[in-house]
Amino acid sequence: MEVKQVNKYTGIVEYYDLLMTSGYYDYKAQSNALAEVLHSCSSVLELGVGTGLIAEQLIKKMPEIDFVGIDFTEAMLEKSQERLGNNIALHHENILHMDLEKKFDAAFSNGGIWYFIESDQKEYIFCSHIPKIQDIIKSFHSVANHLNTEGRLILSVQGVHKNYEQDLADEVTYCQEIFPLPHSKFDKKYSFRRDRSIIAEQTCRYQLLSESTAKILLDECSFEFQCITPCRQYHVYRKVT
């Protein structure tokens, strides 16, 4: 996965977790919506478990579910393990090459690898942390291979990426800057500052696709669009072969 990452200090995951627990997302509302979709599932795979915040909420709501999480960043998994203990199985995996030797009733990405962005146009915009289209297709196939027939793929909906600042605890300020690139790509620079000095930073590259293009690619990889949840927080697809 060609994601450019520059960490000034390895502690960026601690600052990221501080941001995520400061109201950046409403994990309770998201987990409520996910639980509605997952209610009939006995096993679920989270694609990009991060520091375990959405998993923590889902486990409380669905303690009987067989829950597995993957992430590309080892430091994220360490934080997730610290938060979740032995409640779920965590794996350090590149989605392009993962082989978990089991299949699931559902897989979801809550902004982890892919998601949709709200738009003032008729369509949503598909956003991927994987910046090459051929690798996006490969990743879809990889997930399809890990789902049972009729298994669900669930992708979250997020707001438009924009330049943004937020004051956090411990006199830390979070800043994100968006840099548009050719071919519907953009770089997003995250930085954490204290007393105007950068204490941690990271830059990631993203690929954007129209919703209709994403649906074509997903269909070619055996995923059929089912619905957008009533709360409009998730797009749900079904593995058809």
Residue 129 lies in a domain: yes
Residue 171 lies in a domain: no
Q: How far apart are CA 178 and CA 190, in angstroms?
A: 9
Give domain status of residue 215, yes or no. Answer: yes
Is residue 205 one of the residues assigned to a domain?
no
How far is it, in rounded angstroms, from Cα 87 to Cα 97?
25
Q: Is residue 230 part of a domain?
A: yes
CB distance 1 to 128 below 8 Å: no
Q: Please, which residues bridge with residue 92 across strands? A: 71
Q: Does the residue 194 lie in any domain?
A: no
Instruction: Give the integer Cα–Cα distance in Å for 48 and 61.
Output: 20
Cα distance between residue 89 and residue 7, in whole Å? 27
Per-residue pLDDT tens, the chain, 241 aa: give them: 233 333 333 468 999 999 999 988 899 999 999 999 999 999 999 999 999 999 999 999 999 999 999 999 999 999 999 999 988 999 999 999 999 999 999 999 999 999 999 988 889 999 999 999 999 999 999 999 999 999 999 999 999 999 999 999 999 999 999 999 999 999 999 999 999 899 999 999 999 999 999 999 999 999 999 999 999 999 999 999 8
Number of domains in the chain: 1
Contact 183, 37 (CB under 8 A): no
Q: Which two tokens stand for residue 80?
A: 């997730």
β-pair type (43-47, 66-71): parallel
The whole domain housing 37 covers 24-158+210-239
Q: What is the CATH number of the domain that holds 132?
A: 3.40.50.150
